[in-house]
Structure 1
Amino acid sequence: MLAIKNLTKSYNGRTVFKDLSFEVEPGQVLTIVGPSGIGKTTFLNILSGLIAADSGSISIDGNNLAIDGTRQGSEVGVIFQDFNLFPQYTVTENITLAPRIVAKENKNEYRKTATELLDELDLTEHQDKYPFELSGGQKQRVAIARALAMKPGVLAYDEPTSGLDAKSTDRVTAIIKKLQGQGATQLVVTHDLPFAQSLNGKVLDFSKDVQR
């Protein structure tokens, strides 16, 4: 379970959000909506450990995560809006890089995981391609596979359908629902209200439900 308690963040004297508190149960999808500039991506960056919060706490299954921007673990896997795939590496290399270098997994383990993820996300035929050879939807699935390869406690998406056509959006929706059925805890930041409504989960509206 993901638990956020009294999380507060300010920039230059302006409060982005104050005493933000909620819980996400295993297998639950929380969709975070609201207009641009309201703090959704800031929250996601704090959750992933990229920036520091002012106060509060984040825990996964009772284990507290650092909120001071120094976190090094892979407890939260984030799929960023621009995918952030390494252009010099193939699909398989993108997926296995962090397990090999950061998690220090042995070759048999990270190769087995990559093979399973490639199959599950319908990417096997693209495993030796480079990012420039992929469509937007294919890149999105590679980014999801790369995050899942580190076996995170929480999976978070930043605008996962941005720039995707209807077919690719449907595929991303199906992946999120499939992972939900497998018990994955997921957060989805989106402006796409039809997409948000298609997911089986709760909605947190940063324009209405968050203190400032």
Structure 2
Amino acid sequence: MTDTSRPLVAVTGLTKAFGDNHVLRGVDFAASSGTTTAVLGPSGSGKTTLLRALNVLETPDAGLVRIGDVEIDFATLPAGKKARAETSRLRAQSGMVFQSHNLFPHKTVLENVIEGPVQVQKRPVDEAVADARQLLEQVGLSEKADQHPFELSGGQQQRVGIARALALRPEVVLFDEPTSALDPELVGEVLAVIKDLASQGWTTVIVTHEIRFAEQVADQVLFIDGGVVVEHGTSAQVIGDPSEERTRQFLRRILDIG
């Protein structure tokens, strides 16, 4: 059972380099159950690598990641089969929503949503289908269950991706720039679903350039630049009244563009 007296997500001293490019340089942060964490920063700052490290899509060089009761110290992670088992346990704690929808084109919407629960978690098909239909209703797509991805708009495909992540019943949902690939008029429908999840008490970590959205929904905001957390606090602090000049510079640029 998860200890509710400590943060659900804890990251300590996380580092990652690709050759000579040090993308993460000792990142620390924690997130309590039921909270929304927004990660802001310029392109190439390390924010997506941080998110992928939480899901072990990128293996950190060092540092500790804990989600729920599953913890890995990457500096001492053994090689081989044991490492794969440990990383699989950590990956199972989170659901990932990518920039691109990454849906199986030959499968229906319903089949896409039940794929993980049935094939990976080995849950009964009837149970997975019932859950999937409920989740599709939650994201406003119950009538699209039997359609294929090519029949949907980009926003609808992204909402299927959200339902697919939730179907795994994760401890935390990770969003990597979930609106960046969408036409501007479709952004709102995806953000509305994410806002609804936050209000329901899902624990979420969101990498986004949607500053005003982050200001509305985030319990805490991390501003990352050069692989380090430059500023960390509530949305009112980091977005409304940042203390660091680098944060102020970034927000002025993004908000002026917006």
Say what the alpha-carbon RMSD is for the aligned residues. 2.1
1:114 to 125, 128, 132: 132
Whether the aligned pair in 2 keeps the contact of 1:28 and 1:183 (CA below 8 Å) is yes
After superposition, give the CA deviation of every residue in 1:57-101 in whole Å (9 maximum; x if it has no partner): 111124214756832242111111011101010000000011111
What corresponds to 2:159 in structure 1? 141
Q: Could you give the per-residue CA deviations for residues 21-72 of structure 1, whole angstroms, max 9, x where no partner exists?
A: 1111111111111111111111122111112101111111242147568322
Structure with greater Cα Rg: 2
User: 2:67 aligns to what?
Assistant: 60
Q: What whole-Å deviation, never above 9, does each CA across 1:169-194 have from its counterpart, x for those lacking one?
A: 22222222222222211011112323
Distance (Å, rounded) in 2 between the aligned partners of 1:208 and 1:29: 23
Between the aligned partners of 1:22 and 1:175, the Cα distance in structure 2 is 25
- In structure 2, how many angstroms separate the alpha carbons of the residues matched to 1:175 and 1:65? 31
Instruction: Label 1:61 to 1:139 Cα distance change in 2 as closer, same or farther (>3 A).
Output: same
* Counterpart for residue 248 of structure 2: none
The superposition leaves residues 118-160 of structure 1 with CA deviations (integer Å, 9 ceiling, x where unpaired) of 1111111111111111101101100000000001111011111
Give, in whole Å, the separation in 2 of the partners of 1:196 and 1:182.
17
Q: CA deviation at 1:195?
A: 2.9
Considering fraction of residues, name the structure with more helix.
2
Residue aligning to 2:4: none
- Percent pairwise identity: 40
Query: Unmatched 5+ residue regions in structure 2?
Result: 1-7, 78-82, 231-258
TM-score (norm 1): 0.91
Q: Map of 1:9-158 to 2, 5 A cutoff?
A: 9-65=16-72, 67=74, 70=84, 71-73=87-89, 74-158=92-176
Preserved CA contact (<8 Å) 1:9 1:18: yes
- Residues 5 and 39 of structure 1: is their aligned pair in 2 closer, same or farther, counting only changes over 3 Å? same
Extract unaligned runs of 5+ from structure 1: none
Letter of the 1:36 counterpart: S
**Residue matched to 2:251:** none
Contact 1:177 1:200 in 2 (8 A): no
In structure 2, what residue type is equivalent to 1:28?
A: T
Asked if structure 2 preserves the Cα contact closer than 8 Å seen for 1:95 and 1:149, the reply is yes
1:137 maps to amino acid: G
